[in-house]
Amino acid sequence: MKKYLSFFRIRLINGLQYRAAAWAGVVTQFTWGGLTLLMFWAFYQNGQNIFPMTFSELSSYIWLQQALLALYMAWYFDNDIFDTITSGNISYELCRPVDIYTMWFVKNMAVRLSRALLRSMPILIVAVFLPKPFNISPPASVLSGLLFLISMILGFLVLIAFSMLIYISTFYTMSPLGIRILVTSVVELLAGGIIPIPFFPQSLQTIINVLPFASMQNTPFLIYNGYFEGYDILLRTFLQIVWLVTLIMLGRVLMRKALRKVVIQGG
C-alpha cells in the first residue's frame, strides 16, 4: 500500500505546482459558468414553470460543475499512460513489483484531485456572494450535504474506473485518439456535463439514469441542490456503488487479458 500512496503523493505534489495554469482555469471556468447561467436565464424568463428545476437549483448545479470540473471532466486523460502503452515502455512497468491497474488508478486520482484543489475554492467563494438567484445555495439540508460528499467521492471513482477502460483499450488499437473523441462526446452528454439530465425527455431519463454516466457528476450535484430526496438518494448512491464495483472488476479482467498477450516493439 505504501508504494501506491507514494505514487499518489508524487503526482499530487507535481500537479499542485501549476498554479498559473490553475488561475487561468479559474477565470475560464467562472466565465463559462456565468455565460451558461445567462443562457438558461433567458429561457427561464419565458416559461420558468415548465422547467424541471428551479433556477436556484440549476445555478447550484452549474457552479458545482465548474468548481469541480477537474474531478469530473470526461475529456481529461493521462497522456503518459497512453505513451507508455503505444511506445512499448509498458515493458518497464511490467518489471516493477506493482499492480499496474492500481498504480494507474491512483495516479489518475492524484492528478485530478490536484487540479480540483487549486481551482474549486476560488470559484465557490465568488459564487456564494453572487446575487440571487445566480449564486450557489447551501445544501438542501445537513444530511444532503453529507450525502453529497459521499456521492461526490463515489462519482469521482466511477469516472476514473471508466477511464481505466479507455486506457486498457489502447492495448488493442493502434492509436487512442479515435476512442477518446467518441467516449468524451458520449460521456459529457449522458453524464449531464452539457445539459443536466433532468432537462432530457422523461423516456430518455429512464435509460440514462441506469447507465454509469449518470453516476458521475449528475448524482452528487442533484443531491446537493435538493432535486433528489429520500429514497431517490439511496437508490442513486446504490447505483454508484454497483457501477464502481462493476467497472473496477471489468477493468481488472481486461487488464489481465491484455497483459497476457501484450506485444512490445513487434516482439
pLDDT at 266 over 70: no
| pLDDT given for residue 212 in this prediction | 93
Residue 25 CB neighbour total at 10 angstroms: 19
Asked if residues 40 and 58 have their Cβ atoms less than 8 Å apart, the reply is yes
Mean pLDDT, residues 164-178: 85
- Encode burial over 181-191: b for 16+ CB neighbours within 10 A, e otherwise: eebbeebbbbb
| pLDDT given for residue 245 in this prediction | 96
Domain map of the chain by residue range? Answer: 2-260
Which of 24-28, 120-124, 156-160, 165-169 is modeled with the greatest confidence?
156-160
Asked if residues 164 and 106 have their Cβ atoms less than 8 Å apart, the reply is no
Q: Which of these, 233, 227, 76, 69, lies nearest to 166 by C-alpha position?
A: 76
Asked if residues 158 and 240 have their Cβ atoms less than 8 Å apart, the reply is yes
| pLDDT given for residue 267 in this prediction | 45
Residue 222 CB neighbour total at 10 angstroms: 27
pLDDT at 191 over 50: yes
pLDDT tens track for 60-77: 999 999 989 888 988 888
pLDDT tens track for 130-165: 988 899 988 878 888 899 999 999 999 999 999 999
Residue 62 CB neighbour total at 10 angstroms: 21
Here the cell at position 31 is: 466565465
Strands (E), 118-261: none
Which of 87-96, 118-127, 168-177 is modeled with the greatest confidence?
118-127
With left for phi above 0 and alpha for psi between -120 and 50, is residue 47 left, alpha or beta?
left
pLDDT at 240 over 70: yes
Alpha-carbon gap, residue 216 to 29, rounded angstroms: 19
Q: What is the pTM of this model?
A: 0.90
Q: Which H helix or E strand runs over 24? A: helix 19-44
Here the cell at position 122 is: 476560488
With left for phi above 0 and alpha for psi between -120 and 50, is residue 178 left, alpha or beta?
alpha
